[in-house]
Amino acid sequence: MPERTRHLAFGDVAAVWGVLTRLGVVEIIDEVVGSRRSDAGASVGTYLALAACNRVVAPCSKLGFQTWWKTTAADRFTRIRTAVLDHRKFWEAMHAVTARELAAIEHRLALRMIETFGLDLSALALDMTNFATYIDSTNDKAPIAQRGKAKQKRSDLRLVGLGLVVTRDGGVPLVSHAYPGNRPALTQFTTMIDLLMGRYTAVATAAPGQAAGRSATPTAQMTVVFDAGQNSVANFAHLTAAGLGFVGSVPPSDCPELLALPAGRRRIVDSQRFGGLTAHDTRREVYGAERRVVLTHSPTLPAHRPVPRLLTDPGQGHRDTGRAGRHPGPRPHPPTPRQGRSRDQPDHPRPLGRPRPALGTHRRHPTGAPAELPPRRAHPHRDGNRDLRQARPDH
């Protein structure tokens, strides 16, 4: 038996570093940024790859990176010494990358992921949100952090907006766009679409040997799915001009004529894949153009959730609210006892709240015998004024 043992993390770090090596993250960053400085312990791509590895395995601060690195066996297969992982080196590497270079790095990484993993780009999901930061209000070195409508309800903090496009095939991110927190997501939709089309065009026009499997598909076959937060006449016109397929979400209040459709108008979508899902396919004018609108309904929705009328099926136990998305309201209170009935009867519901005590000069003891109330303590000012009023009736 050995005299002592040392336990080091290996599997998770090796798995992440293997993916980074397979994608060539370090090489891509170094090609865009340039060669490393003579006094640097490692290249900029190495520091950023190490930071990404730490975020996946065990997120910590840059100051604590050295301590975490010592608990792993990564130095044995990365050949990176702990002495060159000072937190100031990470800050220098991050400051060495400009915003233009960061966009170029992301573009190359997206193309490399599509090529390496053979991602299916026929369906993509787009969404935007914002994150609260703890950047001081007087710090003018981060103009992207602004005050706006916080999704986390932290209106006291500065926000940073982030838009993301991911594939349905594995949820792999292909496009990201950071924007100031005081701008609504509606105004950033066209930027996201332009970035997506630029990267997808680069993949579609690549040589057949550079695009593996299903990646090189025509632009007309790609469909972007987004929620109602991106709906506007300008955004839909931009999608039409780009020739991009899309699936959006229309609020039920924008389609009042569809809310009154009977259940008999709906048809089963696919009984094998989607049990009980029915839909009604029609066309109507939506945001300046006639578009295809599909009204869906699922009987498996929980009965306790407020659902719009177009999702409410008669006989499913849902209350017709009279307006789409409106909550049915609070539950009615239990009936109050009728006059002449005793509260001690077991078949009568007990009213809510504590009963009012009976007026009198005595209270009932827990054993049932009456107990005299203690005498009231004399108040100097109140009792003195009362005696003065008794002595002077004309006062």
Evaluate if residue 267 carries a pLDDT over 80. Answer: yes
Q: What local confidence, expressed as pLDDT, does residue 377 receive?
A: 60
Q: Write down the pLDDT at residue 317.
A: 33
Instruction: Give 197's pLDDT tier (boundaries 50, 70, 90).
Output: confident
228: tokens are: 């109602």
Q: What is the mean pLDDT of residues 365-375?
A: 53
Answer whether residue 371 shows pLDDT above 80.
no
pLDDT for res 331: 45
CA angle 29, 224, 160 (to 5 degrees): 55
Provide the pLDDT for residue 254: 81
For residues 74 and 259, the model is more confident at 74
- Are 279 and 294 in contact by the 8 Å Cβ rule? The answer is yes
In this prediction, residues 248-257 reach a mean pLDDT of 83
Mean pLDDT across 153-181: 90
Q: Note the pLDDT of residue 15.
A: 96
pLDDT class of 368 with cuts at 50, 70, 90: low
Question: Domains along the chain?
Answer: 11-97 (no CATH), 120-247 (3.30.420), 252-311 (no CATH)
* pLDDT higher at 199 or 318: 199
pLDDT digits (tens, 9 = 90+) for 291-348: 888 888 877 755 444 333 232 222 333 333 333 333 334 444 455 544 444 444 444 4
How large is the average pLDDT for residues 370-379? 56
Confidence at 31, pLDDT banded by 50, 70, 90: very high
Q: What is the pLDDT of residue 18?
A: 96
- Grade residue 204 by pLDDT with cuts at 50, 70 and 90: low
**Lowest-confidence segment of 24-33, 180-189, 354-363 by average pLDDT:** 354-363
pLDDT tens digit sequence for 351-361 = 555 555 444 44
pLDDT score, position 41:
79
pLDDT level of residue 214 (50, 70, 90 thresholds): very low
| Span 75-104, pLDDT tens digits | 998 989 888 899 999 999 999 999 899 999
**Rounded to whole angstroms, how far apart are CA atoms 18 and 355?**
71
Q: Quick check: 126 pLDDT over 50?
A: yes
pLDDT exceeds cutoff 50 at 216? no
Report pLDDT digits (tens) over 49-70: 999 999 999 999 999 999 999 9
pLDDT mean across residues, the chain: 77
Span of 5-19, 61-75, 110-124, 264-278 with lowest mean pLDDT: 264-278
Whole-number pLDDT of residue 321: 31
pLDDT value of residue 376? 59
Above pLDDT 70, what percent of the chain? 71
